[in-house]
């Protein structure tokens, strides 16, 4: 609460401290939880407050929920106090004659600070430290909650980004109540993952792309949370990288509509995030190649220290480095600041770009395809640097086309060809990165067995590359035919 980003905008005398002790109640059949409602009674200083929360949205750590609060006499559950509210009738119907029993207890100290942002938005900052108790288990509470009392959501995001530059903060998509349900083994309603991006074809380009980018930021934050929970799973790294690539692709598509300096800054920061994940992905690709060779019985078994073991150790070290950076909140200020910028653009309701989302997207994708078509006409498939550059362009177009498919005309065949071409180019590019990674292992201390395995993997992969290079002209012609109508 003494951070410069807070004290510079704090209201005089706007600080506070209190101990909060809450009980969450439900019926023996958990009817409230099934209806996605939370009912609690919490002691706040000298009074008791009954609260019902429900509905709304939770996206990447930004929560919008309906809430009803009633001051009550004690901690005994009584839903009839909500009779005069919008939720009262539904609440009474759900509970019926069933008893209400405590299922979760939260105890924490809360320090608060009232903030007035430069745009006059009012925000309450609450720092909570304590414990969630459910059944025989408990888990700590250590979080900062920013609540928008009045004003614009972009101010909330700006403040969050400023705090995240000073402290190692991660957005939390689960409420204290939901974390308690998971602790008690009662979380029957699972949080949604990889929600499909909603695209409104009737919106103008600026507003439509802002909305899409905000959804992609939320997807990235969910993918980051999943990866940090299970960093040993290669598929989680893959999904995190794809979510970041989608975000970068749509942001580049959006580039001409936004301030050039802000655009360049955000793209540069997102590119650094991609580079942070790149090393981990290269090791995963090398391990997958070794695994295919091993499964095909091309590699002799029985080595005390196999190439697979060496790669697994390297991956563990690389994963620790990536996790350390993400746990320290490396990505948080970047994405929150981008989110704030996009929210501000939406708030301004710009109308100078009158083209629809579909018209603008078709024009930009056609321009990208022309560039790729020009590169592909003269490319030498044996020059890996050019192959890698072409692959990056193909990926960018594919991810943008997938997100924007609802507003594009007959694009499914093009996406299919982009997917095939990306995978084939990926084999050529990944083979090169795997070879470079494996060669680094061949030090003077490396065993003869390791040299043999590396040589066999590189030789086996070299054969795959030669075979694919011979097919690339044919694959390119098929892609070009699918892209022709766009050119």
Among candidates 357, 353, 343, 361, which has minimal Cα distance to 399?
361
Residues in the chain, total? 487
**Closest to 300 in 3D by CA, of 448, 104, 402:** 448
* Helix, strand or coil, per DSSP, at residue 25: strand
Q: What whole-number distance in Å separates Cα of residue 363 and Cα of residue 378?
A: 24
- Walking along the chain (487 residues) 10 residues at a time, the average pLDDT comes out as 91 89 93 90 90 69 75 92 90 91 94 95 96 92 95 94 94 88 77 72 89 94 92 92 96 89 93 94 92 72 72 94 94 95 77 78 93 90 93 95 92 93 93 93 85 90 92 92 85
Containing domain of residue 305, as a range? 208-486
Same domain, 136 and 15: yes
Domain assignment of residue 198, yes or no: no
Cα-based angle 127, 321, 340 (whole degrees, multiple of 5): 45
Phi, psi for residue 36 in degrees, rounded to 5? 60, 40
CB 31 within 8 A of CB 98: yes
Are 286 and 367 part of one and the same domain?
Answer: yes
Q: 194 — alpha (psi -120 to 50), left (phi > 0) or beta?
A: left
**Residue 113 is assigned to a structural domain of this protein:** yes
Q: CA 183 to CA 103: how far, in whole Å?
A: 11
Count structural domains, the chain: 2
> What pLDDT was estimated at residue 340?
94
Query: What's the CATH code of the domain at 403?
Result: 1.40.20.10
Does 433 fall in a domain?
yes
Do residues 212 and 77 both lie within one domain? no
The pLDDT assigned to 300 comes to 60
Same domain, 185 and 220: no
Decide if 438 contacts 310 (C-beta within 8 A).
Answer: no
Q: Is the pTM value of this prediction over 0.85?
A: yes
Q: Which of 157, 191, 225 is the last residue of a domain?
A: 191
Which residue in 99, 114, 175, 113 sits closest to 139, CA to CA?
A: 175
Q: Which residues pair with 23 in a beta bridge?
A: 41, 105
Residues 298 and 369 in one domain: yes
Rounded distance, CA 136 to CA 428, Å?
Answer: 54
Place of tokens 């980004």: 161
Residues in Cβ contact with 388 at an 8 Å cutoff, skipping those fewer than 6 apart: 429, 432
pLDDT of residue 240: 95
Q: Which residues pair with 110 in a beta bridge?
A: 18, 128
- Note whether 187 and 212 are same-domain residues: no
Measure the CA angle with vertex 472, ends 470 and 473; round to 5°.
Answer: 95
User: The CATH number of the domain where 148 resides is what?
Assistant: 2.40.320.10
Q: Are residues 471 and 379 in the same domain?
A: yes
378: burial class by Cβ within 10 Å (0-12, 13-18, 19+)?
exposed
The tens digit of pLDDT for each residue in 220-273 reads: 999 999 999 999 999 999 999 999 999 999 999 999 988 888 899 999 999 999
In a domain, 203, yes or no: no
Q: Is residue 40 part of a domain?
A: yes
Query: In this structure, are 183 and 229 located in the same domain?
Result: no
Is residue 223 in a domain?
A: yes
């Amino acid at each position: 609460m003494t951070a410069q980003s807070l004290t510079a905008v704090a209201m005089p005398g706007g600080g506070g401290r209190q101990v909060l002790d809450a009980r969450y109640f439900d019926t023996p059949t958990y009817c409230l939880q099934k209806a996605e409602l939370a009912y609690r009674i919490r002691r706040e200083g000298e009074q008791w407050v009954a609260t019902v929360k429900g509905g709304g949205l939770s996206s990447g750590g930004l929560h919008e929920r309906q809430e009803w609060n009633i001051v009550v006499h004690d901690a005994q559950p009584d839903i009839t106090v909500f009779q005069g509210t919008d939720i009262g009738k539904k609440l009474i119907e759900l509970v019926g004659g069933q008893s209400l029993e405590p299922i979760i207890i939260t105890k924490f100290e809360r320090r608060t600070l009232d903030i007035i942002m430069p745009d006059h938005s009012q925000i309450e900052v609450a720092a909570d430290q304590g414990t969630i108790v459910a059944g025989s288990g408990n888990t700590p509470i250590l979080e900062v909650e920013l609540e928008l009392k009045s004003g614009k959501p972009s101010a909330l995001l700006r403040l969050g980004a400023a705090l995240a530059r000073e402290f190692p903060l991660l957005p939390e998509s689960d409420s204290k109540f939901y974390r308690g349900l998971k602790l008690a083994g009662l979380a029957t309603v699972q949080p949604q993952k990889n929600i499909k991006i909603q695209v409104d074809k009737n919106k103008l380009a600026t507003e439509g792309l802002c909305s899409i980018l905000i959804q992609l930021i939320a997807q990235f934050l969910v993918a980051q949370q999943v990866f940090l929970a299970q960093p040993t799973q290669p598929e989680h790294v893959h999904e995190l990288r794809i979510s970041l690539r989608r975000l970068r692709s749509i942001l580049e598509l959006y580039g001409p509509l936004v301030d050039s300096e802000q655009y360049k800054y955000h793209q540069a920061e997102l590119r650094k995030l991609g580079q942070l994940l790149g090393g981990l992905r290269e090791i995963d690709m090398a391990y997958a190649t070794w695994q295919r060779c091993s499964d095909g019985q091309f590699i002799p078994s029985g080595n005390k220290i196999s190439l697979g073991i060496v790669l697994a150790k390297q991956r563990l070290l690389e994963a620790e480095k990536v996790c350390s950076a993400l746990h320290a909140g490396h990505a948080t200020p970047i994405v929150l600041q981008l989110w704030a910028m996009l929210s501000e653009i939406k708030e301004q309701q710009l109308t100078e770009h009158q083209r629809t989302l579909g018209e603008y997207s078709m024009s930009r994708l056609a321009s990208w395809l022309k560039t790729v078509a020009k590169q592909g006409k003269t490319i030498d498939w044996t020059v890996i640097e050019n192959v890698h550059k072409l692959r990056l362009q193909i990926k960018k177009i594919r991810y943008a086309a997938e997100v924007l498919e609802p507003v594009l005309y007959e694009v499914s065949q093009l996406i299919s060809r982009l997917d095939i071409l990306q995978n084939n180019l990926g084999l050529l590019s990944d083979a090169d990165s795997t070879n470079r990674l494996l060669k680094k292992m061949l030090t003077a201390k490396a065993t003869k067995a390791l040299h043999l395995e590396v040589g066999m993997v590189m030789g086996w992969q070299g054969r795959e590359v030669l075979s694919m290079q011979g097919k690339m002209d044919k694959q390119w012609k098929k892609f070009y035919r699918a892209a022709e109508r766009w050119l």
